[in-house]
Amino acid sequence: MELASSSSIDAATFVSALKACSSLSEREEARELDGRLVKVESLKRGVEIHARAEKSGWELDASVGISLVDMYAKCGCLVEARRVFDRLSSSSVVPLTSLTLGYAENGQGELAVELLESKVCEQGGGLDPPTFVAALKACSSMAGKEAGELVHGRLVKLKALEKGMSFHSQAMDRSFETDTYVANTLVDMYARCGSMVDSRGVFDRVVARNSATAASWNALLLGYSENGEEDLSLELFPRMLESEAMANSRTFGVLLKACGAAVALDKLQAIEARIYRAGLEVDETLATSLVDVYGKCGDMIRARCVFDWIVAAGGGDLVLWTALIAGYSRVGKWKLVFESFSSMEDRGLAANAVTLVCLLTACSHSGLVEKGRSYFRDMVPKFGISPGVEHLSCMVDLLSRANHLDEAVEMVKSMPAGESGVAWMTILGACSKWRNVRIGEIAFGRLVESDSHSAGAYDLMANIYGRT
């Protein structure tokens, strides 16, 4: 088009091109750059189009500026999105919504809330339902980073909850709570803040208006599941089936997670039947969840049936294989752990961090010290994975069980101080078994330094002295 006639390129052309970049970004896998997740290829195209708009004098057009903010926000380049936003003279709420959502989706909920609060003060309101959805998502983002406080035995994210309630109040003043998207986001926001009473209150009002969708149910079911009330999540599902809302793959994903946490094998089998009735048995994400949850419930026969079905259908990615291996590891089928891993490697799949935890655990319980050492040594050069606390803990357990206590001590010393308490207790327990007073006193000393009231440490040390 530029080659044919550059004079025909106007604001509408740039808006369309920038919207294309925004659309592409939604399908692109983000990459980490300087601690931020960025849609690199889409951003590169967007920057090129921005440069052309600037060169041709269209950058300051309101519609082009609004599209630039949206494109940069969706690509994860929030500094540039804010720069363009601050230069806009448009009173439209659309760029405010785009930038708020960009902050929220990139883990900067506090900046999103500050932006909204400042603009509301400047403009005296003017927010619409999509802006409130973005605001509530920003509160959810804040909740994800907040430590929370115990209130009546429940962990509540009070700062995020306070901001969320403020936006909820403003939405109600404008009668926006009846908007389905706003209501669903409210259900999710309250759940993420740990206030299931408020989450359920909004949901019940949605049901009373006969406007509950699958997204409404999913938000509530997930909220109960993530707040330690898996039983309520599972009990609500029959009510969802009675409503007009159709369960989808996300619904079943939430329910499978609840079954795994509650170790509810009977409910798991019923949900699997529903998955088949819904025609979703070929959904590999759900199949992987089924394999994982059957493993958590101890039914590896059924887990293997689901696994074999997916593999026979031409599927079977690393996550599925790891779910199978993890299941065998949980039930102590160590030989099958190694056999499955060998078959996985034959298909050209490399282990991930979870796979290696399973392998090291299997080595520990099978007494295969050299095999465990080999896997651990290969983590960086062969698998490209840096050992984490879980891998180090597995090695400490492996070495302690095999009476390689000096080596286990050196391994614990390489762990972060706040993470080594369990590992020192593992060594102390092994010292009781192997009657090693010297290493036992080292482990006991470290435990008492971090927690002088550790009754378990005193009991184990007394046992070591009593047996020598």
Q: Is residue 439 part of a domain?
A: yes
The residues near 274 (Cβ < 8 Å, ≥ 6 apart) are 247, 252
Q: Is residue 446 part of a domain?
A: yes
Give, in degrees to the nearest 5, the angle at Cα 26 between 21 and 30: 100
- Residue pair 412/427 in contact (Cβ under 8 Å)? The answer is yes
Structural domain harbouring 455: 388-468
Give a yes or no: residue 188 inside a domain. Answer: no
Q: What is the pLDDT of residue 244?
A: 84
Q: Is residue 398 assigned to a domain?
A: yes
Digit-coded pLDDT (tens) for 93-130: 999 999 999 999 999 999 999 999 988 766 656 789 99
pLDDT tens-digit series, residues 369-421: 999 999 999 999 999 999 999 999 999 999 999 999 999 999 999 898 777 89
pLDDT of residue 122: 65
What whole-number distance in Å separates Cα of residue 359 and Cα of residue 376? 10
Rounded-to-integer distance, Cα 412 and Cα 140, Å? 37
> CA nearest 431: which of 449, 422, 423, 443?
443
pLDDT at 258 over 90: yes
The pLDDT, as a whole number, for residue 466 is 87
pTM for the full predicted model = 0.86
Report the CATH number that the domain containing residue 394 is assigned in CATH.
Answer: 1.25.40.10
Please determine, for residue 295, whether its predicted confidence score (pLDDT) is greater than 80. Answer: yes
Overall number of domains in the chain: 1
426 domain residue, yes or no: yes
Q: Tens digits of per-residue pLDDT, 116-175?
A: 998 876 665 678 999 999 999 999 999 999 999 999 889 999 999 999 999 999 999 999
pLDDT in tens, 173-222: 999 999 999 999 999 999 999 999 999 999 999 999 999 999 999 999 99
Statement: residue 278 has pLDDT above 70: yes
Reply yes or no on whether the pLDDT at 468 is more than 80: no
Establish if 437 belongs to a structural domain. yes
Residue 423 falls within a domain, yes or no? yes
Phi then psi dihedrals of residue 244, to 5 deg: -85, -10
Q: Which residues pair with 156 in a beta bridge?
A: 149
Encode pLDDT of 389-398 as tens digits. Answer: 999 999 999 9
Looking at residues 264-272, what average pLDDT do you find?
95
DSSP 247: P
Q: What does DSSP assign to residue 6?
A: G
Q: How many C-beta atoms surround the C-beta of residue 3 within 10 A?
A: 5
User: Considering the domain boundaries, does residue 231 fall inside one?
Assistant: no
